[in-house]
A and B are shown apart, each in its own frame.
Chain A
Amino acid sequence: MTTLALAPAIDRVPRRARPVRELLAGTLFVVPATMLLLAIILAPLLCLLILSVTDYEIGAMQIRWLGLANFEKALSDPVFRRAMGNTLLYVALVLPGGVFIGLLVALLVHGRTRSRAFYEVAYFLPVTATLIAMAAVWQFLLHPKLGPVNGLLKAAGFPEMAFISEPSLLIPTLAAIGLWNLIGFNMILFLAGLTAIPRDLYDAAEIDGAGGPIDRFLTVTWPQLAPTTMFVAVTTSITAFKVFDTVAVLTRGRDGSEVLLYAIYLEGFQYFKIGYSAALTVIFLAFMLAFSVFQAFQLDRKVHY
């Protein structure tokens, strides 16, 4: 009864000959999705691979084969390297923060009885807020002169912080906004996981002498939540890797806030160097795939302890 577990597919159909009609129906159900998958994902990926070894630009008459030149250029480009470093830093801040704060909030909300519904909606509020809009709001909140956050800091005797102009503060600031936007969603996933833990496991733990809240968390809640935690970690890291909206509104990728997706957007859709941005995309894809496969392996290990 795990929630959202990445469990292996179980054979649901008894092993006997199925009528041809049913087999046909089963295949038919998957046709729309397969068509869409081919047209919207696989075929474009093929295009991408081809484009990434050319110098294609929108409006260009000639296309030349470049081999791996685009990749060499990208990997030696200091701006792109900064974009990779910044994106990794952003993920390193948002991933643990999103998982652990999300879990903490879910545990707190799960303990409520009457006020639970209220807290669920209240904590989910930031998720419904468009990040584009909220980025502007944060720009206001974090404004060195007008913003209430600096007002609070000054009232508490701290110096004024230039959250969105000091280059070294940009990524942490963006990560904090990303977390604010994300926690509510992770909370909902964890709440679902918590609801699915069978009550009698806690009773068994109590009999075994694990009566305190921390004991019960370590012996029952945490291991039972493992599949949910993995799912949350995967979705959180995907969300973190594709950070774009806040960068586009708050900093426009200025010094200190270059990230991968914004770099791809600039090269491809502002400078129209499609071939080069395709190569950047391939690098981005490789990153995501490596990360995801790594997490999938971790998941396998964790779920079958």
Chain B
Amino acid sequence: MRDAGMIERAPLLNALTHVLMIAGLLIAAFPIYVVFIASTHDLPTVNRVPMPLWPGEHLVQNYTTVWNKSDFGAKMINSLIVATGVTIGKITLAALTAFSIVFFRYRARMLIFWAIFITLMLPLEVRIVPTYAVAADVAEPLRWLVWLFGFELGIAPINLLNTYTGLILPLVATATGTFLYRQFFLTIPDTLVEAARMDGAGPLRFFREHLLPLSRNNMAALATIMFVYAWNQYLWPLLITTDARMATATMQLQKIVPGPLFGQPPVWNEAMAATLLVMVPPLLVVIFMQGAFVRGLVATDK
């Protein structure tokens, strides 16, 4: 590696880099370490000043309490369903759309590309009011359109509140994935496209047998990002679920960790145990995918 060569020549610089990286590591990891430590003590110990920085003996007890107290298992399963649904939905949709935009020529192509570009700029949070209106009644836009012309639409509301569909679909319909896929597909050499054509491969076969295997790493990278993103969603599930059975883990977390204005001091050890529990699934995905993660964001496989 070139940088390694450079560092050999400058021991002072090398030492400085090490100091910087370890300092960064402390800043990145220390809060999470504190979460772990706080989750292993009983409440009086956590509230002591200063809080001990070594693990205590109440780990099992705290985690069992939190798990049972708030039906955490069911909430985690809800989050898992939503995050997996969003991940699969996005990867599929993004691959198909990018494939169409990059490898075919038709009149609406640039229009679709710009529509994607704009939605990339307008995340769900910005569209939260109208998206909620549509989730509450899928026929809502039509109803307004008809209302503009002075009529009433005689359709019963189609309600997506408190459904997995309502939780998943709006999170699928953003363009980040399509964008990343497009960038990758643009680097596929024309010779490969021509070769596949010579072999008599139709578009579907080209997609399945050439593009998909080539984009394995991209898929892994995208899946990791999407899973973490969907798992950590808070505002959308908060709005669309009123039924406690549909609540996600992040929502439950917000109930376990009362904010400053609720009046009562938070039960820190249990709150921290819950925090760590909610962190485990996305962390596992990142560690599991680590190998493909960075490589997958690079345009071509080397």
Contacts and interface: CB of A to CB of B under 8 A. Distances in A.
Interface of A: 1-5, 7, 9-13, 18, 21-23, 25-30, 32-34, 36-37, 39-48, 50-51, 105, 108-113, 117, 119-134, 136-141, 145-146, 148, 151, 164, 180, 183-185, 188-189, 191-192, 195-196, 199, 202, 213, 234-235, 238, 241-242, 244-245, 248-252, 254, 261, 264-265, 268-269, 274, 277-278, 281, 284-285, 288-289, 292, 296
A134 B31 contact: yes
Given A4-B297, A133-B278, A47 B96 contact: no
B298 interface: yes
- Dominant secondary structure of chain B at its interface with chain A: helix
Contacts of B186: 7, 9-10, 12
B183 A4 contact: yes
Contacts of A254: 261
Contacts of A134: 31, 275
B148 interface: yes
Given A145-B49, A285-B126, A288-B126, A139 B294 contact: no
B50 interface: yes
A51 B29 contact: no
A51 B122 CA distance: 18
B257 A126 contact: no
A71 B179 CA distance: 34
Interface in B8-37: 13, 17, 20-21, 24-25, 27-29, 31-32, 34-35
B123 interface: yes
Contacts of B120: 234
30 contacts: A1-B187, A9-B102, A9-B182, A12-B102, A12-B103, A25-B104, A26-B105, A28-B100, A29-B100, A29-B203, A36-B169, A37-B115, A43-B134, A44-B134, A50-B144, A50-B148, A111-B7, A120-B293, A137-B31, A137-B35, A140-B268, A146-B51, A188-B297, A199-B2, A234-B120, A248-B235, A252-B259, A261-B125, A265-B235, A277-B129
Contacts of B29: 122, 125
B204 A25 contact: yes
The secondary structure that dominates the A interface is helix
A2 B130 contact: no
A19 B190 CA distance: 19
Interface string B34-56: 11001000000001011100000
Contacts of A5: 183
A286 to B, nearest CB: 11
